[in-house]
Structure 1
Amino acid sequence: MSDIYDILTPEILDQAVFHKSRRSDNSGSCVEVAENLAATHGVVLVKDTKQPSRPPFAFTVAEWEAFIGGVRDGEFDL
């Protein structure tokens, strides 16, 4: 099984369309998500807006869906 990061060529990263989380505020502490590559490349990208020079984190669609399901179920509530 190949590493998900192996497919993240500059050409694919250029196709990513990031949007801010609806829960983000104006403090600059937010994340941006690119889900548009899920259907074509099987990957969801997440980046930290405070560190724009860092590459995005990459998740498989299954990993992303599990994370979102956990958020909705309150698994990460403090």
Structure 2
Amino acid sequence: MFRLVALMFIAMFAFTACEEPAPAEEAAPAEEAAPAEEAAPAEEAAPAEEAAPAEEAAPAEEAAPAEEAAEGAEEAAAE
């Protein structure tokens, strides 16, 4: 078992070591695109915050069927 894990680790290390690094010319456009990507999470955060109250209301709505099921179980046990 140890040998299998060791071989898998060596194979994974060898595979990742074979990857060629990106040339500096290709890295520059990715760095320029980074500020636009950083701005996107801030815009996405607002809708998530607006959706939070609706998610908080959902457990209360789900509690009613659970209570009804509990009452039904109590009635069945009483019979």
What TM-score comes out, normalization by structure 2 length?
0.24
Point out the structure with the larger strand share. 1
What TM-score comes out, normalization by structure 1 length?
0.24
Point out the structure with the larger helix share. 2
Of structures 1 and 2, the one with the larger relative CO (CA 8 A, separation 6+) is 1
